[in-house]
A and B are shown apart, each in its own frame.
Chain A
Amino acid sequence: QVQLQESGPGLVKPSETLSLTCAVSGYSISSGYYWGWIRQPPGKGLEWIGSIYHSGSTYYNPSLKSRVTISVDTSKNQFSLKLSSVTAADTAVYYCARLWFGESDDAFDIWGQGTMVTVSS
């Protein structure tokens, strides 16, 4: 079955760049679907960060757009998140997910287990 697994540093210093990777197994990213990143600060709700298609087309949350880059590596069957100039407000559990994209309906149908990233010196 399709599985997603996030990886990356659990601790990032303020003003530095947060970098995470999502490895996809059981499905080839090149075959289709969009892929996305979602985060959840401790005790708070979910926030969509951005999504990417296997071709590289991206969509970003306007509130984060100036700091976010999402990229895809089809040869490694993975996609990545970079968030620059982080502050304590970026401390959160970061999830990657597969996004089924329809004409008027869509859904994040498969999620990774999530990885906690803390921003602290």
Chain B
Amino acid sequence: SSELTQDPAVSVALGQTVRITCQGDSLRSYYASWYQQKPGQAPVLVIYGKNNRPSGIPDRFSGSSSGNTASLTITGAQAEDEADYYCNSRDSSGNRWVFGGGTKLTVL
């Protein structure tokens, strides 16, 4: 399968923990990467590989994977974390990339 499935919307209370998930057959073979996108801005990489954060990404962002599901967890969500989040991975062929449909995170 070349598809990655995400919940369209998730909400979290300020300071609480939220998990955003991404499902797809290719995730059994390849790690997902995660991108944060705020309105009018380009996406920003927040997690890649097993659980790697680029420089400058707060450590409240973490990643995990089990079977065909990858997860992005925000521990202690902040108001500035309100954004769209996209997962990305190679498809089962190994040489094409696919994005999930995106999850809109609302911080209450």
Question: Which residues of A line the B interface, CB within 8 A?
Answer: 36, 38, 45-48, 51, 59-62, 95, 99-100, 102, 104-109, 111-114
How many angstroms between the C-alpha atoms of A106 and B101 in the bound complex? 19
CB-defined interface of B39-66 with A at 8 Å, one 1/0 digit per residue?
0001111001110001000000000000
A112 near B95 (CB under 8 angstroms)? no
Most chain B CB inside 10 Å of its own CB: which residue of A46, A61, A100, A114 = A46
Among all A-B residue pairs, the 10 with the closest Cβ atoms: A107-B48, A105-B31, A105-B49, A107-B33, A46-B99, A48-B97, A111-B42, A45-B102, A59-B95, A45-B101
Q: Known contacts A36-B97, A45-B102, A59-B96: does B29 contact A104 (CB below 8 Å)?
A: yes
- The complex places the Cα of A7 from the Cα of B37 at a distance, in Å, of 21
Q: How many residues of B contact A (CB 8 A)?
A: 25
With A and B bound together, what is the CA distance between A45 and B49 in angstroms? 22
A108-B35 CB under 8 A given contacts A45-B86, A102-B49: yes
- Contact partners of A45 in chain B: CB under 8 A: 86, 99-102
